Amino acid sequence: MNNKRIIFKELPLEIEDVDKEAYEKFKVPNLKQFGTTLVSELVYLLVNDLNFQKAAGEDLHDRVPNLE
């Protein structure tokens, strides 16, 4: 349970920082272009018990099929 809290503590707080930091930490596209991607990635990780290796091995469009 404590591991799930770490993700939320590491999230960038300012929208200007989200683009670079989200990509560096979560390898997701630009949040300004893909508004729900970061949230979708977090939900995917939580549903899959924070299996980062599985997420890294799958294509973004396979993990988030309804990508904007």
Give the side-chain half-sphere CA count within 13 A for 9. 5
Nearest to 26 by CA among 47, 44, 8, 41: 41
- Average pLDDT of the chain is 59
Identify the pLDDT of residue 17.
47
On whether the CB atoms of residues 7 and 42 are closer than 8 A, the answer is yes
For the stretch 19-34, pLDDT in tens is 566 566 666 554 454 5
Identify the pLDDT of residue 37.
64
What pTM does this model have? 0.33
Give the side-chain half-sphere CA count within 13 A for 39. 7
Distance CA 55, CA 41 (A): 9
